[in-house]
């Protein structure tokens, strides 16, 4: 029987890259996308996840269940805390795109540099990594890497500046960190380049997020 995954997006940029990952890992899966790019706009404007954003996301998770989702994939790291709040009320498993990434990075390394282009993504990602470390009973040291100006460069049509600022941030963190964690799935395309620039392992969320979905779908009923 064909499985259905509903991916919930707070912006436009990740849908096409994730479609390719699903095509590789879950080619027979029915993938349905729910996209509301007002969500990330409102989070950035407020500097936090507002009750209104959380309410809309909860509605989308309920819509995903009504669609017939076997698994829901939350694709935005900035709103991961809403998943924790929603799970008791949604009759379908919800996967955070970055949860397995955080778990694997913590399992292998104790000094992690975390890169984001937005404070609203950096903070939830560091909190997720700390939670995974606590669950594993492991002490970790985190180095925050906010790539100042990179987000504005990207939305302003200057992707080369966006990439340069992220690379410079990664190079700075590599002096202290054993591995680099990319807080936003949209940065996954830079994984190889950053690994080459820093000589350090680099973790991104899209492939590992879909891997987590695949593992759930393959569990016995």
Each residue of 96-118: pLDDT tens digit?
999 999 999 999 999 999 999 99
| Dihedral, CA of residue 103, residue 104, residue 108 and residue 112, to nearest 10 | -70
Domains of the chain, earliest start first: 4-97+207-218 (3.40.50.1860), 99-204 (3.40.50.1860)
User: 179-182 and 202-203: which strand pairing?
Assistant: parallel
Each residue of 114-130: pLDDT tens digit?
999 999 999 999 999 99
C-alpha to C-alpha distance for 177 and 169, rounded to whole angstroms: 12
Each residue of 170-217: pLDDT tens digit?
999 999 999 999 999 989 999 999 999 999 999 999 999 999 999 999
What pTM was computed for the model?
0.94
Each residue of 23-66: pLDDT tens digit?
999 999 999 999 999 999 999 999 999 999 999 999 999 999 99
Q: Is the pLDDT of residue 221 over 90?
A: no
Residue pair 87/65 in contact (Cβ under 8 Å)? The answer is no
Q: Is the pLDDT of residue 78 over 80?
A: yes
C-alpha to C-alpha distance for 193 and 178, rounded to whole angstroms: 17
Q: Where would I find the beta strands (DSSP E) of 80-187?
A: 94-96, 111-116, 141-146, 179-182
Establish how many alpha carbons lie within 13 A of residue 69's alpha carbon, considering only the half-sphere containing its beta carbon: 27
Sign of CA dihedral 208, 209, 214, 216: positive
Question: What's residue 13's pLDDT?
Answer: 82
């Amino acid at each position: 029987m064909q499985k259905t995954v509903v991916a919930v997006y707070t912006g436009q940029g990740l849908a096409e890259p994730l479609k390719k990952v699903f095509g590789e890992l879950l080619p027979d899966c029915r993938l349905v996308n729910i996209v509301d790019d007002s969500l990330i706009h409102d989070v950035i404007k407020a500097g936090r996840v507002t009750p209104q954003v959380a309410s809309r996301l909860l509605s989308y998770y309920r819509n995903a269940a009504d669609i017939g989702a076997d698994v829901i994939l939350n694709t935005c790291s900035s709103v991961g805390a809403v998943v924790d709040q929603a799970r008791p009320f949604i009759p379908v498993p919800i996967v955070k795109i970055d949860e397995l990434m955080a778990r694997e990075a913590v399992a292998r390394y104790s000094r992690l540099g975390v890169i984001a282009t937005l404070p609203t993504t950096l903070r939830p990602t560091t909190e997720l990594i700390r939670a995974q470390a606590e669950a594993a009973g492991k002490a970790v040291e985190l180095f925050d890497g906010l790539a100042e100006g990179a987000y504005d460069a990207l939305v302003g049509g200057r992707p080369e500046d966006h990439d340069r600022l992220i690379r410079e941030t990664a190079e700075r963190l590599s002096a202290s960190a054993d591995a680099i964690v990319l807080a936003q799935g949209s940065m996954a395309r830079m994984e190889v380049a950053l690994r080459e620039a820093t000589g350090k392992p680099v973790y991104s969320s899209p492939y590992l997020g879909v891997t987590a979905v695949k593992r759930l779908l393959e569990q016995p009923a």
